[in-house]
Amino acid sequence: MLTNKNPVLKGFHPDPSILRVGDDYYLATSTFQWFPGVNLYHSRDLVNWEQLPSPLRRVSQLDMQGNPNSGGVWAPCLSYDNGTFYLIYTNVKNFHGIFKDTHNYLVTTTDLYGEWSEPIYLNSSGFDPSLFHDDDGRKYLVNMRWDHRMEKHDFAGILMQEYSVREKKLIGEIKTIYKGTEIGATEAPHLYKKDGYYYLVVAEGGTMYNHGVRLARSKELWGEYESDPTPVLTTRDNPEMYMQRTGHGSIIDTPSGKWYIAYLCARPVDGKFSILGRETCICELEWVDGWLRLKNGGVVPPESYEVDLEECKVSPLPETDYFSSGLPLHYNTLRLPLEKIGSLTDRKGFLRLYGNEAITSWNNQSMVARRLDSFKVEATAVLEFEPKTLQQMAGLSLFYDTYNFLYAYVSYDEESGQNCIRIVVRDRLKFYNPIKDYRVLIGNSKRVHLRVNVDYLRADFSYSLDGEKYEALATDLDISCLSDEAYCDIGHEGHTGTFIALCCQDLTGNKKYCDFESLTYKRLK
């Protein structure tokens, strides 16, 4: 018997879609504006997960240039039928205000380690699309419907339409099959069939602190669907729990007949700020009188879970990535693929980023990043950079999105004729520089070690020119802005998490490059 503590995928891994094929388990999670699209994992024991190549690795599959913060890939659904894997996903191009542009696509593959197909466009009526494979071989798309009318409820129920594999398009009637409960915000539908019932798993309550998972059922595919009066899981009435915002689930059974749900949670620091973003959890379920219940009883999911599967360990990630053998799978780029912003071959053993637009750009940004997945971390970047003007900069960022970030960078100080290090912070849209005298002069040094230490809601930046002695740049900086909750303070929606990012900008347009030798990431807790 294996026991594991949640979250199982730490750091920004929201909207899990779980799938079993034989003795293999797969998880897909949202990536929002980060490229490549959709994080994909494999496990044999539901405890140890190894990352697979992302399905959406080509711009032809996922064009996110100009997408807003927290746009891009929402809530993928991974499924399997007759030798083929199906992935449904949304590319959100706009969602601020009353309107949403949510374009839904399908890609397929027979080899999860290989290439996925070009996308098939499905619809744009809402987000959280999911594909159901019925026993007779017919397939159906379900997604929530968005209603922009201000006098109506914006979450307007779950739509269903048949999908034709032969015609590669949706066909036939579109019908609303479920409206949800009084909790509202009904989304994230997944259809299953068991013991003569069609079961619809949905999220409700919105993705903040009222979130939860609900089950509905019907003897007929097209409904009417009856709501379970009790949620499958939620922490909405338990603010004291370590894990909050629990919801958005999908279910699987094991070969021995046990049932599990993958769902998301957040771990807010001081009960207020989820700087790691929404993470993926797993817990065991059981069927009681035709409904799903938590194995441990109640509706509050446990902090740990057990599985009766043989352990299958995976290799841990190294502390230091040297970029000499490609970009590791746990790295992402912002909106654009790496080949659009940099190279791993232009200088052997280095990640070269070519300076593009500002760190606030939604279009052409040169940024390579990995998730923050622990509350106490030390991250150190080693870079070589020779700026010629104050408009050229490169460095290390704690990055939530273009509205909220902290950025320590090397640039050129024209007054002294020296290279310098500066820090810019954008906290809830407001900019400030926390360094006394605004910059630190470093002479002609082009090789710099930049370090950030994260300690829950505080961060310290430091630097070294020899890699041994570090000098403070700015200490005890508030990083609560790197959270979904901070967006509530400025009237926006944020749905991502904090990244450790390597950046390069050239605001002259001449694409001055920076070479990054390594990024060391040490979890201190």
Rounded (10°) CA dihedral 330, 404, 453, 395: 70
| 345 strand-pairing partners | none
- From 45, 128, 187, 517, the catalytic residue: 187
Taking alpha carbons only, the member of 308, 183, 187, 322 closest to residue 257 is 308
Ordered DSSP codes for 450-500: EEEEEETTEEEEEEESSSSS-EEEEEEEE-TTSSHHHHHHHT-------EE
Token reading at 189? 């539908």
Distance between CA 512 and CA 447 in Å, rounded?
Answer: 15
Phi, psi of 352 (to 5 degrees): -100, 120
CB within 8 A of 430, min separation 6: which ones? none
User: Is 15 tagged catalytic?
Assistant: yes
Based on its alpha-carbon atoms, the radius of gyration of the chain, rounded to whole angstroms, reads 23
User: Is 187 tagged catalytic?
Assistant: yes
Q: Give the side-chain half-sphere CA count within 13 A for 399.
A: 28
Helices (H) and strands (E) in the chain, counts: 1, 40
- Helix (H) or strand (E) holding 252, with range, is strand 244-253
- For the chain, what percentages of helix, strand and coil (3-state, to nearest 5) are there? 0, 50, 45
- DSSP letter, residue 339: G
- From 15, 284, 413, 515, the catalytic residue: 15
Q: Do 278 and 330 meet the contact criterion of CB atoms below 8 Å apart?
A: no
Active-site positions read 15, 187
